[in-house]
Structure 1
């Protein structure tokens, strides 16, 4: 049996139009393809009663307007090879016919070369009116009573506020990709969003997401022909409670892509506190023939021809952006003293500290009490750790002692610094492990292999995964029924409790299903090993050991936070201390 055209149209519409936000998306994308510089969206009752989108694009003649309501009629494609070079957001010719099939639709349009426009009124796919009318250049589409003829679909629409929220998020997202276009959104006659034309992405972010967030985002960019990736990133210490502010655009098309999302997660791996998420606007420019956007009915998913290269490029761009933020920004973790309360320190993400560089000699060689990072030995006198006029060295701090055997207290030119000794050593080990795994000779054979005994289930798992453990940097040999000998470990872990480390490593890896993914395995192990092997809170250190620890912080890529995102240190400036004691400035 062949379905009647009206039934087939409703089924097809269900794939393209699922809720009011889908209507807004299709109409805005049509407006952008028409070259609009101003787009106005008006909704009533969360879009369930009415949606109107007005643009100043190129408009359509009466003949083209009539043709636009026919399924698969499009001016954006001529032949099959054009699918490989798509430069428009729409191309299937399904949006307007789908809308007309499940709503009462009115279309008014006029091109620049005509003095009179046209009006078409359609209900349930049937044209009720096709007549000339007065109209401004551009197109106005009004969609009323969405799903009026498909009660089952209408029943599943959310509340007015929920649908309106979806539309707001959509318009915000689309506006981020087109800062040169003026967007307006009104609900029940009240203006909800205004995004005037902007030249800079940061200005557009401020308009649609708020100034507070925009001021916390920093730019990144990387170009490798024929690709270009650029956008804005949130510093890891500013992590948010949800993934709501993650926007990904490929050739300015808003997408929900697993590959880009994975690159974003990997870039922030070890930089965020658990339960915190990054904010980012990622723009990827790629030749149209290298990306397939004809994968999903709503065109939200895409497929890259060279996904590995795209992933690597995006990950590199994001990582470089994050490292550029943190390399000079040991000052990014600041603190403000609350006047009148000398017992409370309130976190404040204030202006950067810029202490002067010291030309004094760095401490001597690092002993085995604090394991050094390969290649990060203390520098010669007067040698700066990294370029930048605002940089300074931990090795030059004057160590005063410990606070409750957990925090290092030191004097800096600008005030008093508190350093979390566990977080600091954890970051040192975390980066050292990466170096050890990259260097073939960094695994050290044990002069006396150490035995470790496991439970039967753990031993069975380990017996089957000795190669995985070796890949992770721990070599073991069977030594009895449930026992093994530890023969090699990363150099930076030689002085640790290796038996406990092996047990914890097995417990960490056993739940992972895909052990073939070495990057996932190693990242989990780096987090476990660095945390397990680091100096603990409550552990007493000598002044010499503290100095050795501080000297190693100067060689880190990231010295602002531990692998889990917790801050390494806090500064109390002299100005804040004087303010707390109500002392005058000198």
Structure 2
């Protein structure tokens, strides 16, 4: 290992390998506000005690520098030696004098992976440093000083990963956090690309890992993990780095506050749930004012570069209307669709669902909509096209509406049934109903015990369309069976179950106005990219992908 730092004076070389010799602290009080990565003075001493070490160093005040060789913790050679300003340390024959320890070493490839993993973390933390790593004569890592975190991430994780990351920043009460995180559409099967730093120290913290999980809980499926590079800056007195010898585990004095800080930074500060660049597009932009075509092109290019400025244009819709629409489907998304009744030849009346009426100024789009296999909605966007899953999208809409109603003081409006529904429950369903009775009431259900394992449902949420003679409630109780702890996390599961069973199903035909209204409401939510279970609501196909498939690139 070589660096071009300040170097170590020749007279201090033996002291550098003594246990507990350190220049990082000058008093006992400094231990509580350690700002450097190492401070105990044990690393070099520990390495030198089980290997053969050579260290050559030179300061700006010395010429030449000095060299020291240590075998098994004992100095075997010490003399002046030429070198540029800085320090180099060579370690060989690791554990040569402790064979019992050496036989427990992993394979060379596994040890190499561990080393590269550590160096990756250090390179992320120190973007202004050049890193050159060689193994068996081959260059394993060669990183020039980076202009910023984005460039360093691109070098380490690849341009394909970096292209799916967005920057986030958040600051509160003397604590600050910033970094890069992936959108919900880009995830991995493990946490290998989640990096958390506290005061630029790479750390492992269950609390901070859980904060990432909670931030992505509703937008990433179970078993998938986002890419996150997060830097937390906290006062040195608020973090204890003496928890573990490796100093990767830390104890935060205000752990709950830091947990909330990281979670809010990802949820709110990053806006990683925004999908404005995936909104339907008519294929035409309205350019106002004078100017040449070249100026108009430049303005359009600028608009495309900033997806937050993209917007829907109001207007009519043209596209394919599905025939044979089931009765009652006109109320699905708060507006009925105009359709020809094949049996009578007359248009059906416009029947607006209570509480979900379509305002006259609702943003309808000139972009065409088509329904594919009565399951997916196809529409174009500025950079290509998207496929929208009608069930997952409606799930997200219902979930957000129910959640907002629960968070308000009024709760969810209840619609009384003309004929109360009598339902027989299984033992598991009974337990689920008893555990979540208060939450079900808040959601708009009016349920009474009716003897034995029977219940009487007298009211349901006013906006619920797929009641299906009680099947929806039974399915919800099945999902919650044997869950006896109605915590806030369980409330999320309850809402997700309600949305899943109440949403329009795959295979149900939709008219163009219904598809149009569904897309409007989807993009009006704060998390349009995924359903409450974390499944994607839409998939994008860029023009470049299509052109490549057709041999036009």
Q: In the alignment, does 2:353 pair up with 1:405?
A: no
The alpha-carbon distance between structure 1 residues 183 and 579, as it changes in their structure 2 partners (threshold 3 A), is closer
Identify if the C-alpha distance between structure 1 residues 510 and 298 changes in structure 2 by more than 3 Å, giving closer, same or farther: farther
Q: Where does 1:262-281 land on structure 2 (aligned, <5 Å)?
A: 262-281=210-229
Equivalent runs, 1:568-579 vs 2, <5 Å:
568=538, 570=540
- Pairs within 5 Å for 1:374-389: 381=361
Shift in alpha-carbon separation, 1:405–1:75, aligned structure 2, 3 A: same
What secondary structure does 2:45 align onto? Answer: helix
**Higher mean Cα deviation, 105-114 or 456-465?**
456-465
**Distance change in 2, residues 1:478/1:304 (3 Å):** farther
1:245 and 2:208 correspond? no
- What residue in structure 2 maps to residue 453 of structure 1? 424
Matches within 5 A, 1:189-204: 189-204=137-152
Q: In structure 1, how many angstroms separate the alpha carbons of the residues matched to 2:112 and 2:436?
A: 52
1:442 to 411, 419, 425: 411
Contact 1:426 1:531 in 2 (8 A): yes
Q: How many angstroms apart in 1 are the aligned matches of 2:91 and 2:382?
A: 65
**Structure 2 matches for 1:178-257, cutoff 5 A?**
178-257=126-205
CA distance in 2, matches of 1:172, 1:204: 10
Point out where structure 2 has 5 or more consecutive residues left out of the alignment: 282-303, 318-328, 336-352
In the superposition, relative to structure 1, how do residues 473 and 444 fare at CA in structure 2: closer, same or farther (>3 Å)?
closer
Superposed, 1:112-127 pairs within 5 Å as 112-127=60-75
SS at match of 1:202: helix
Residue 370 (1) aligns with residue 339 (2): no
Moved more, 324-333 or 204-213: 324-333
Measure the CA separation in 2 of the matches of 1:482 and 1:528: 22
Residue 523 (structure 1) aligned to one of 492, 497, 518:
492
Q: What is the CA-CA distance between 1:202 and the residue it aligns to?
A: 1.2
Shift of 1:86: 1.2
Which residue number in structure 2 is paired with residue 43 of structure 1? none
Contact 1:104/1:123 (8 A) holds in 2: yes
> Please, which of 271, 283, 291 is the counterpart of residue 231 of structure 2?
283
In the alignment, is the contact (CA less than 8 A) between 1:562 and 1:568 conserved in 2? Answer: no
Decide whether the 8 Å contact of 1:267 with 1:315 is kept in 2.
Answer: yes
Instruction: Give the 5 Å matches for 1:441-520.
Output: 441-445=410-414, 447-448=416-417, 450-460=421-431, 462-463=433-434, 466=437, 476-486=447-457, 492-493=463-464, 496-497=467-468, 499-510=470-481, 515=485, 517-518=487-488, 520=489
Question: Is 1:309 the equivalent of 2:257?
Answer: yes
Q: 2:95 aligns with which of 138, 147, 161?
A: 147
Question: How many residue pairs are counted as aligned between the two chains?
Answer: 499
Query: 1:430-453 CA distances to partner (integer Å, 9 max, x unpaired)?
Result: 222221221121233453464432
Distance 2:447 2:430 in 1: 12
Structure 1 stretch displaced more, 531-540 or 273-282: 273-282
Q: Deviations over 1:299-334 (max 9, x none)?
A: 11111111122111111111135535624222599x
1:358 aligns with 2:313: yes
Q: Within 1, Cα distance between the matches of 2:280 and 2:94? A: 50
Using structure 2 for the length normalisation, give the TM-score.
0.79
**8 Å contact 1:361–1:380 — kept in the other structure?**
no
SS of equivalent to 1:236:
coil
Measure how far apart 1:182 and its partner are: 0.7
Cα-to-partner distance string for 1:104-133 (whole Å, 9 max, x where unaligned): 222222222222433222222222233333
Q: How does 1:41-60 map to 2 (within 5 A)?
A: 53-60=1-8
**Structure 1 residue 239, shift from structure 2 partner:** 1.9
The answer to whether 1:297 aligns with 2:268 is no
**1:566 and 2:521 matched:** no
Q: CA offset at residue 187 of structure 1?
A: 0.2
SS at match of 1:434: helix
Task: Report the Cα offset of residue 483 of structure 1.
Answer: 2.6
Matches within 5 A, 1:60-75: 60-75=8-23
Change (3 A) 1:510 1:232: same
What is the DSSP-based 3-state SS (H/G/I as helix, E as strand, rest coil) of the residue aligned with 2:15? Answer: helix
Name the counterpart of 2:399: 430
Alignment-derived partner of residue 97 in structure 1: 45
**Structure 1 position 180, deviation (Å):** 0.5
Check whether the contact 1:270–1:527 (CA below 8 A) recurs between aligned residues. no
TM-aligned CA deviation for residue 425 of structure 1? 0.7
Aligned-residue CA RMSD (Å): 3.8
Distance 2:280 2:518 in 1: 20
**Greater mean deviation of Cα atoms: 65-74 or 297-306:** 65-74
Q: Is 2:175–2:235's contact at 8 Å kept on the other side of the alignment?
A: yes
CA distance in 1, matches of 2:220, 2:83: 53
